[in-house]
Amino acid sequence: MIQMKAVQMYEHGGPDVLKYEDIPEPQIRPDEVLLRVRACALNHLDLWMRGGLPGAKIPMPHILGSDIAGEVVRVGELCERIKPGQRVLLSPGTSCRQCEQCVSGVDNLCRRYTLFGAGRLGGNREYMPAPEYTVIPIPDHLSFETAAAAPLVFVTAWHMLLTRAGLQAGEDVLVLAASSGVGMAAVQIAKMFQCRVIATAGGEAKLRKARELGADHVIDHYQQDISAEVKRITDRRGVDVVFEHVGAATWPKSVESLASNGRLVTCGNTTGYDVKLDIRYLFSKHQALVGSFMGTMGELHRALKFVFQGKLKPVVDRAFPMPEIAAAHAYLENKEQFGKVIVVP
């Protein structure tokens, strides 16, 4: 039996539960390809999955990693589109492909929707099987590391801004934590749609990078009052769209930053989920609070067009060799990065 390297976890806990070890190379099914993984990006999901979520049990040992790029080594007999040797990335999300939601194109609402590294084994290994429908060829000029940095955050930010918040050209957008993966993606998407972007970040270096990404105004969320700054920049009007994913730490300021008819869209709660809401402003100012989870396969293909053309640029902060994955997790956990953290098998 051929052996390969993988990072497995047998229990939830700190970065030290991640074990770099030999396991047998996986078999593929007829509708799957075998991928030689060349780069895998970290997401907050990796940290949640590693630490364990109340009520969510996963089979052990587990392999993390949702954002995956590599080369196709073999294809199963039912594969028609993808050929061995192609450079590709994978859609992070998988679904049943048969239910009403899936065939309506909203596969992210499928009851069997899950992600590599979450409900199924992920990309922190040298070789992995992937259903052919998840495989998306990438152009030669795109590095595996940059390709791996793209899918999860760009599909999430695209779905949030355009589909859920109904972003229109010319609107004002507040992007929380531009240094995060989704924040980095949101700043660029909003700018591509000719919006004025106010971005928050922590510290001078990150504020400068947010500006370089295209943010028109920046706010230091450790030093400044977010909503007061938003009101000052917008001449007391507020913004049309607030792009939230931070949760408890920023929620009150995010809500205060909304203009009349404003939409707050959220995809996460990295600082906590329990928030307060004064509903008087919600109805009297005609505002909307919108949840968002991942995005559809169609939106992923749409967003990636712009990544492949170089109009949207996945920002890679740093790549770690896969044996040092525990250090990569700690690095992301300590919020040291701007953009994506990658592990390379």
Q: How far is the CB of 104 from Zn ion (least distance, A)?
A: 9
The stretch near Zn ion (CB under 5 A) out of 97-105, 222-230, 242-250, 260-268 is 97-105
Which residues within the stretch 3-62 sit at the binding site for Zn ion (CB under 5 A)? Answer: none
Out of 110, 207, 267, 319, the residue judged to bind Zn ion by CB under 5 A: 110
CA distances from 201 to 146, 178, 184, 189, 232 (A): 22, 6, 11, 17, 18
Query: Minimal CB distance to Zn ion: which residue?
Result: 110
The stretch near Zn ion (CB under 5 A) out of 101-109, 203-211, 230-238, 320-328 is 101-109
Out of 28, 49, 102, 189, the residue judged to bind Zn ion by CB under 5 A: 102
Site string for Zn ion, 120-139 (x = CB under 5 A): --------------------
Nearer to Zn ion, 97 or 232 (CB): 97
Rounded CA gap, 223 and 165, in Å?
28
Nearer to Zn ion, 113 or 127 (CB): 113
The stretch near Zn ion (CB under 5 A) out of 33-41, 108-116, 253-261, 305-313 is 108-116
The stretch near Zn ion (CB under 5 A) out of 50-58, 94-102, 192-200, 289-297 is 94-102
Rounded CA gap, 310 and 124, in Å?
27
Residue 136's CB is within 10 A of a number of other CB atoms, namely 20
Nearer to Zn ion, 104 or 223 (CB): 104
Q: Please give the span between the terminal C-alpha atoms of the chain, in angstroms, as a whole number.
A: 20
Rounded CA gap, 126 and 38, in Å?
8
106 lies in the binding site for Zn ion (CB under 5 A):
no
Nearer to Zn ion, 56 or 96 (CB): 96
Query: Cα 178–169–258 angle (5° rounding)?
Result: 60
Out of 53, 60, 78, 96, the residue judged to bind Zn ion by CB under 5 A: 96
Q: How far is the CB of 112 from Zn ion (least distance, A)?
A: 6
Nearer to Zn ion, 110 or 176 (CB): 110
Residue with tokens 């007061």: 228
99 lies in the binding site for Zn ion (CB under 5 A):
yes
Residues binding Zn ion (CB under 5 A): 95-96, 99, 102, 110
